[in-house]
Amino acid sequence: MNAQVIETPQGERLVLIPEAEFRIIVEAAEDAADLEAIRRFEAALATGEEELIPSEVVDRLLSGESKVRVWREFRGLSPQDLAERAGIGEARLAEIEDGSADITVSELQALAPALQVYAEDLLPRLKAPVLEEAST
């Protein structure tokens, strides 16, 4: 490595290296950070703190399909099972799943643990407001 050490008037020592060598060092540090993140994820996956979600499930969630229905089916629960676990009626669950009724906060708080997800994972996607062009 071709490095030069200089000292500032305040006594701070600085090392100057060619840019190509600097980029190699930065890339190696980023690779090490990535490998550590992968190691932590794999450890969390092994203990059950994390889980892998199939792309088909993610696609369904992103497509706007009922998040409650998608998670219920992914967890292998019948509507009856989920309604019982969450303490809500089957008819009410059907309304939530088909979109004919908005989900309440208390229902979110009941359904999320029954589905083993965060309540935020069940919130509907917010639609961006349509902005009208300003007339000139």
What local confidence, expressed as pLDDT, does residue 48 receive? Answer: 86
What local confidence, expressed as pLDDT, does residue 31 receive? Answer: 93
Residues 20 and 27: their CA atoms lie apart, in Å, by 11
Q: For 57-66, which contacts have Cβ atoms below 8 Å and span 24 or more sequence positions?
A: 64/125, 66/96, 66/97, 66/98, 66/99
User: Would the pTM count as exceeding 0.75?
Assistant: no
pLDDT tens digits, the chain, 136 residues: what are they? 788 999 999 999 999 999 999 999 999 999 999 999 999 999 999 998 889 999 999 999 999 899 999 999 999 999 999 999 999 999 999 999 998 888 899 999 999 999 999 999 998 766 666 666 655 5
> Token pair of 4, please?
């030069």
